[in-house]
Structure 1
Amino acid sequence: MLEVADIASPTVSPDGRSVAFRMERASVARNTYDTAWYVQGLGDPSPRRVADGGVPLRDSAGESLPPKVVWSPDSRWIFYRALVDGKIAVWRAAADGSSAQPITHDAADVRDFTLGDNGRVLRYSVGATREQVRVAERAEYDQGIHIDESVPIGQGLFRSGFVGGRMATQRFSKVWFDRLPLLADVPDRWTEIDLATGEGKTIEASAISSAPLPTPGKAGVDGDAWKSVREPHGNRVAWLTRTGDRGDQQQRPDVLLSALPRAHASRAVRCLSALCTGKAITAIQWRPGHDEALFTVTDPRRGLAQSILQWNVQTGDVHEVVSGGGLINGGRDPSWNCGVSAEALVCVTATADRPPRVESVDLESGKRRVLFDPNAALARDMSAVAPARLLQWQDKQGQWFSGQFYSARRGSDRPTPLFVTYYSCPGFVRGGVGDEWPLASLAQAGISALCINRRPGYTMDAVKRYGQGMAAVEGAVDRLARDGEIDRARVGMGGLSFGAEVTMWTLTNSHLLAAASVATPVLSPFYYVIGSIKGKAFRKGLRNLWGLGSPAETPQRWRALSPTFQLERIRAPVLFQHAEQEYMYALDYEIPLIREHRADLYVFPNEPHQKFQPRHKLAVYNRNLDWFRFWLQGYEDDDPAKAEQYVRWRAMRERLKSARSR
């Protein structure tokens, strides 16, 4: 499960005959990830490996970034960014697999690139050099790091986070708790390389700037701007805008699809078909050489299953091209697009129990063909051992929810325990958001598992937001217990980020849970003190998203939202497995629980919000499996290496029994 092959960025060649994509796979033995670029003819039985993809680049939260790949106009080469030997450069690989080499040899890491002059030149941007960044890091190490609103206190201050494949010193960006390396504010410096001669020259950023897209409002489009895309080799633009009454939501709830019908049109047309109104449209792109915009619907009622449809902007006709039970897109993120040519889509497809593979889809007939399936063996195992099924239900208020349910193997007619994780469950579900709870392994071990999708939108009132999550869990437990599938007295829950918040809320506001596992900190006075170093931006975020001022300003609200003030209401044992960058935010409520033998805490060095090091992820998987088997089944693994954890957990169990008897 951990070493599943992920596929990203399928991109069709200009001649429409081939597709390039990158495959990424974890290696626990080497605690790293292997990536490779492949090219496959759309009629060929298998792909060619054309180049090493280097170390995957990640955002500051730990998620793998979508790799950018650009074809040469003659379809003979692919260009891509790769981190190899500590340097981020632009590489060029022959589509026939005969060669791959770096094109840039800059002292700084490449930030972005593009081809120009019909593929004759490469233009790329860089910031500060690698040596300048290291010198800046060492200088503040020697002189002392001045603490201001940009410094992420609560983690190691010197080279404590992975940036560009190495341990680097970080600073807060302007976006919440996102992080950047030192000197990230150095402006872009652009260089142009003649691909025939290899000669380079400095150019102005204006030389690569494309004409700005017209704003939807100027084209007569209603709503708040969200997404836009220009027609390849043309001037038409398609938009997604958010419309409807915002109410208590962060964003307006509906999506409007509009486009300019002709190259020089000044007014947009709207998609008015029932197939594109009132739908959860999440992505758009143009069909090359045609009057059709392709759009993706990610249906929350169908467990975030996707469909791709075509809208003819001239005639208004809409028809479905393809629909499935999971993701049909460009990788793990539901918003990523398939590759597209005039005749076909090339997509990464995945369902809850079928890992990613590459498929082509004929745009006229909708016929699907599997091009590459690197996870075929795992798919067979999942089908045999832990098949998933879509579960749909309503809570007591009539709100609907969906999730992916993995029914446990039963050794008797007795209902099984249940593990629940809440947040988002698109595509191939490994362990909920963050991939921390091995759902299939839990089911194989006799614990049914359910991954619940939150409702669309983001409710601004935190009490209502958390209450919706808890109501979803209550409704699912009621449904499954009523059907005789699970034992409501043996329910566990885990979550990361918003899922962690809902887990802690459910712990403190219900009697549903027999055990819990939480991957990230939630609101607490420590969280406030550490975060307040960011100043006004942090305080504004707290006020907008949680209705909180400081603990002194809004004490009642803090008592309602933070577990720090509700420790006596936590009746189930809690396993905390945190990233080093975040764990200190939670110590004011976790230390009392640990001292009272009500919780266990593990911290993973050098990890961000979402842990990504393969050995750490394996340790998290195994410990969560052990934890819930212990509390929900009374099972202990006889591995001597695990003896110490069971000593602690047995002591916790005795303490909880004693507390309940009083």
Structure 2
Amino acid sequence: MSLTLAQSSDTARAAAPCADVVPPTGAVSVSAKREVRPEDLLGLRDIGPYEAIGPLFTISPDGSSVVLQLRKADAGSNSYCQAIMIVPLSGARPIVVDQGGDLIRAEIVGVADLTVGSGISEIITPLWSADGQWVAFLKKEDGRVQVWKARSDGTGSEPLTKSQSDVVRFALTPDGGSLVFVTQPEIARQRIAVQREGLGGFHYDDRFIPIADSKPQLPGTLTESVEALDLATGSIRPATDPERALLSLPSLMRPKSAGYIPIDRRSRQAWVEAAGGNFATPDTTVRYQSSTGAVIPCANALCSQARAPAWLTGNGSRVIFLRREGWANGTTGIYEWVPGQSAPKRILQTTDYLADCRPIADALLCLREAATEPRRLVRIDLQTRKVTTIFDPNPEWAKLSFGRVRRMNVRNDFGLESTADLVYPAQYRAGQRYPAIVVQYVSRGHLRGGVGDEYPILALAAKGYAVLSVNRPPHLGLLAGAGNLIAAERTNLQNWANRKSILSSIETPLRELIAEGLIDPKKIGITGLSDGATTVQYAMLHSSMFAAAIMSGCCWERNQGALLGPQIDRTFSQVGYPNLLASAPEFWRQISIVENAQAIGIPLLLQAADSEYLSALEAYTALRQAHKPVDLFVFPNEFHNKWQPAHRLAIYRRTLRWFDFWLKGEVPSGGEDAKEVQFWRDLRAGQLGAEQGPLGSVN
């Protein structure tokens, strides 16, 4: 059954059946286009997570098809429709080989080396059997993740594993006889141990992140169990060392190591290797191994900044790789290198985002996105450079109209390069000034909602806003050559230089657009999640450009170390944040909303996860006590990245209402929306003091 809004669960279950997860066939009429709505963005069919980095599809052994997972959110049922699909490269109709299952969310090991939940969906990479007759993939049913098998003709699917704990990754042996899979049974044991400990009270120690939970978090490093399933007999045994090695291949990036020996010295292979740089942004180069085992490095500068992986084509005689290049590395080049020749040749350059690629004959199959085009599967001919769409999961998108998109090259006050994408209002007229919205802090591929996907860029443009989707400049701490996170953050914090640099990279293009007469300097809004929220907080105190703000979480205040736990508190102290015993007024005046509550003059909307909202309460309360316009919404069972479809749609819609009200003076005519906006009218009129309750009612 589907998860409904009245239910409480930590998974969103796919509705059954989910017919609309399969794209419609036939031509789509585009004679009467309309503008984008929030529902259009939420309802996109996704191949892989929105911000995924990793393998998202695989090619069949005979090279005729690919297999991938397609996922579609539905706000009405607060659920996800999911399907494993085989897509013929001939252009024939895709085959759905499995449907349903719960969304599998990733667990993240954080700064404190603790395992915490997240709203980020796991990458699901289906694998082909050696004979191409079936595919294997991870699927969650009845609260458990197992490896499933689906026949490639669409005649059925069933689980292969029946593990008592979740399968976290798997591989198939080259001979097709065994399935190697990894579980973490220690998770269950750890959870039972925590329950027992709670009977006598939890000792407050480094395992706590109070803002996330009132009980200890699990450790980030957990023992794994690696087993092999014999596909013919169904017997399970411990995996051998060669079988264990399959779980780490293919490697996307090989570390720099003088003594590194490739796994098979008899085979030709190519890879991208770290070649210097720092811990967060390594320089890279390309290397090739011949059939004799000799390793040939690419010494040309055009092999630097390569993106892993690299591939062999032309019977193994040529290496193909992708490279970041151009202003602020804002474009991607596809290069061909013949080992033994000095200079690679660029085949194609694009500002589009290539989320994942695989070689096939003299072509690359890639998942490609453009600013106003969602992800689709394309074939890039390496000889003719022709790009052909193989599979478009969102053909209805052609019915929508958009304002044009302009790439802006930015150099900030620190001399650092960055880029920003300006999305013009859908009905743009030259000579008219428009309200503007800033969305942060990664702008690439399909312009959807910024980091965290909470601010609907194209829907904002459809409502008459000029939307500036910005890329953050490089962190000053990394440019200074820091060898670890602490050293990098110390440099970033000195004189608040990194915050100044990021803010400058936003204000610089805004000033350019104001000078052009395109945006109204008195009607600019700013949004942000995570580091973007910190930028919003800093901008509220140090910039006069913004008239309204929305944050997905908040705030940097004196009590942050207490809320984030002992381990992270020590990290903050090492970076240079004052502890609670030091008043440090000069320091906190530079970032604290509480210290500056009386002086803040712009309205602030907070839309926070229930696992993070406690850190917003001090700032929220100070602003309310100062009778400043602030509003807070808390979303249950959410994380840093919000995952529930109903919540994302609510955030999209409220974002539009907030800016419509504060920047354009628009008020809904009725319903719950009008009731909500009436609260904002009272805020604007100064009628709501700290003693008043929601919607102006007195407690």
Q: TM-score, normalised by structure 1?
A: 0.84
- Equivalence for 1:610: 641
| Residue aligned with 1:417, SS | strand
Counterpart residue number, 1:333:
none
Aligned equivalent of 2:519:
486
Query: 1:468–1:656: structure 2 CA closer, same or farther, 3 Å change rule?
Result: farther
Residues 489 and 319 from structure 1, CA distance in 2 versus in 1: closer, same or farther, beyond 3 angstroms? same
1:567 alignment partner, SS class: coil
Shift in Å at residue 28 of structure 1?
A: 0.9
Structure 1 residue 284 corresponds to structure 2 residue 303: no
- Contact 1:422–1:502 (CA<8 Å) still a contact in 2? no
Q: Give, in angstroms, the shift of residue 480 of structure 1.
A: 0.8
Going from structure 1 to structure 2, the CA distance change for 1:292 and 1:590 (only over 3 Å counts) comes to farther
Report how far residue 398 of structure 1 moved. 4.7
Aligned to 1:239: 272
1:467 equivalent to 2:500? Answer: yes
Indicate if the aligned counterparts of 2:61 and 2:128 stay in contact, CA closer than 8 A.
yes
- Per-residue deviation, residues 577-612 of structure 1 (Å, max 9, x unmatched): 111111112322221113324211111111110111
How big is each residue's C-alpha offset from its partner over 1:352-411, in whole Å with a ceiling of 9 and x where there is no partner?
111111112233333221111121222441xx2334332233345554332121212358
State the distance in 1 between where 2:398 and 2:266 align: 40
Aligned mates of 2:218, 2:617 — CA distance in 1: 21
Give the residue type in structure 1 aligned to 2:44: V
CA contact 1:20–1:38 (8 Å) conserved in 2: yes
| TM-superposition CA deviations, 1:430-450 (whole Å, max 9, x none) | 111111111222221122111
- What's the counterpart of residue 539 of structure 1? 570
Give secondary structure in 2 for the equivalent of 1:63. Answer: strand
Alignment partner of 1:522 is 2:555? yes
Residue 442 (structure 1) aligned with residue 499 (structure 2): no
Q: 1:104 aligns with which of 152, 155, 161?
A: 161
- Corresponding residue for 2:12? none
Between the aligned partners of 1:650 and 1:541, the Cα distance in structure 2 is: 39
Counterpart of 1:550 (choices 579, 596, 601) is 579
1:350 aligns with 2:369: yes
Relative to structure 1, is the Cα distance of residues 313 and 52 closer, same or farther in structure 2, using a 3 angstrom cutoff? farther
Partner of 2:81: 34
1:130 Cα deviation from its structure 2 partner: 8.6
1:476 is matched with which residue: 509, 531, 548?
A: 509
The whole-number CA distance in structure 1 between the counterparts of 2:241 and 2:571 is 34
Q: Distance in 1 between matches of 2:46 and 2:322?
A: 21
Candidates 537, 557, 567, aligned match of 1:504: 537
Structure 1 segments unaligned to the other structure (5+ residues): 159-169, 175-183, 221-227, 331-337
Change (3 A) 1:357 1:237: closer
Return the offset for 1:564.
Answer: 3.1
C-alpha distance in 2 between matches for 1:242 and 1:523: 36
Among 393, 396, 403, the alignment partner of 2:410 is 393
**What residue is the counterpart of 2:69 in the other structure?**
22
Note if 1:77 corresponds to 2:134. Answer: yes
Partner Cα distance (2:379, 2:419) in 1: 28
Q: 1:375 aligns with which of 372, 387, 394?
A: 394
- 440-449 or 589-598, larger mean C-alpha shift: 589-598
Residue pair 1:121, 1:194 contacting (<8 A) in 2 also = yes
1:433 aligns with 451
Match of 1:341 in 2: 360
Which residue of 286, 293, 296 corresponds with 2:319? 293
Cα distance change of structure 1 residues 506 and 471 upon mapping to structure 2, 3 Å threshold: same
- The reply on whether 1:638 has 2:654 as its aligned counterpart is no
Shift in Å at residue 57 of structure 1? 1.9
CA drift at 1:615:
0.5
Partner of 2:51: none
Is structure 2 residue 45 aligned with structure 1 residue 5?
yes
SS of residue in 1 equivalent to 2:598: helix
CA distance in 2, matches of 1:20, 1:205: 28
Residues in 1 aligned to 2:583 and 2:360: alpha-carbon distance in whole angstroms? 56
**1:353 and 1:386 in contact (8 A); partners too:** no
Partner of 1:45: 92
Unpaired runs of 5+ residues, structure 2, are 1-40, 49-55, 107-116, 478-487, 690-699
Matches within 5 A, 1:40-439: 40-52=87-99, 54-59=101-106, 60-116=117-173, 118-128=175-185, 135=192, 139=196, 144-157=201-214, 171=217, 173-174=219-220, 185=222, 187-203=223-239, 207-209=243-245, 216-218=256-258, 234=267, 236=269, 238-243=271-276, 251=280, 255-263=283-291, 265=293, 268-273=296-301, 275-277=302-304, 280-287=305-312, 289-299=315-325, 301=327, 304-330=330-356, 338-381=357-400, 384-396=401-413, 398-408=415-425, 409-410=427-428, 414-439=432-457
CA distance 1:316–1:19, change in 2 (3 Å) = farther
Q: Would the alpha carbon gap of residues 56 and 320 (structure 1) be closer, same or farther in structure 2, given more than 3 Å must change?
A: farther
Q: State how far apart, in whole Å, the 2-side matches of 1:385 and 1:447 are.
A: 12
Q: Could you tell me whether the CA contact under 8 Å between 1:230 and 1:236 is conserved in 2?
A: no
CA gap 1:416/1:205 in 2 versus in 1, 3 angstroms: same
Question: Following TM superposition, by how much is the alpha carbon of 1:341 offset from its aligned partner in structure 2, in angstroms?
Answer: 2.9
Q: 1:300 to 1:319 in 2, by over 3 A?
A: closer
Cα RMSD after superposing both structures: 3.1
Amino acid aligned to 1:326: D
Question: Cα offset for 1:127?
Answer: 2.1
**Residue by residue, what CA displacement relative to the aligned partner does 1:307-359 show, whole Å, maximum 9, x if unpaired?**
322223343452234433321232xxxxxxx1333433221111111111111
- What is the CA–CA distance in structure 2 between the aligned matches of 1:117 and 1:238, rounded to whole Å? 21
CA distance in 2, matches of 1:68, 1:25: 17
| C-alpha separation in 2, matches of 1:305 and 1:470 | 23
CA contact (8 A) 1:598 1:656 kept: no
Q: Distance in 1 between matches of 2:472 and 2:386?
A: 32
Bigger mean CA deviation after superposition, 598-607 or 47-56: 47-56
More displaced 10-residue stretch of structure 1: 228-237 or 76-85: 228-237
**SS, match of residue 145 in structure 2:** strand
**What code does the residue aligned with 1:364 have?**
Q
Q: Summarize the alignment of residues 449-460 of structure 1 with structure 2, pairs less than 5 Å apart.
A: 449-457=467-475, 459=477, 460=488
* Change beyond 3 A, Cα 1:455–1:314: same
Mapped to 1, the partners of 2:448 and 2:534 lie a distance apart of 20
- 1:318/1:206 Cα in 2 relative to 1: closer, same or farther (>3 Å)? closer
CA contact (8 A) 1:6 1:23 kept: yes
Alpha carbons 1:300, 1:455 under 8 Å: kept = no
| Partners of 2:266 and 2:291 within 8 A in 1 | no
| Cα displacement (A) at 1:575 | 0.4
Decide whether the 8 Å contact of 1:91 with 1:103 is kept in 2. yes
Q: Say whether the 8 Å CA contact 2:589–2:596 is kept in structure 1.
A: yes
Letter in 1 for 2:230: D
Work out whether residues 682 and 688 of structure 2, in 8 Å CA contact, stay in contact via their aligned partners in 1: no
User: Structure 1 residues 431 and 406 mapped into 2: Cα distance closer, same or farther (>3 Å)?
Assistant: same
Structure 1 counterpart SS, 2:538: helix
Residue pair 1:353, 1:379 contacting (<8 A) in 2 also = no
8 Å CA contact 2:57, 2:125 repeated in 1:
no
TM-score, normalisation: structure 2: 0.80
Separation in 2, partners of 1:587, 1:606: 18
**How many residues get paired?**
609
Match of 1:181 in 2: none
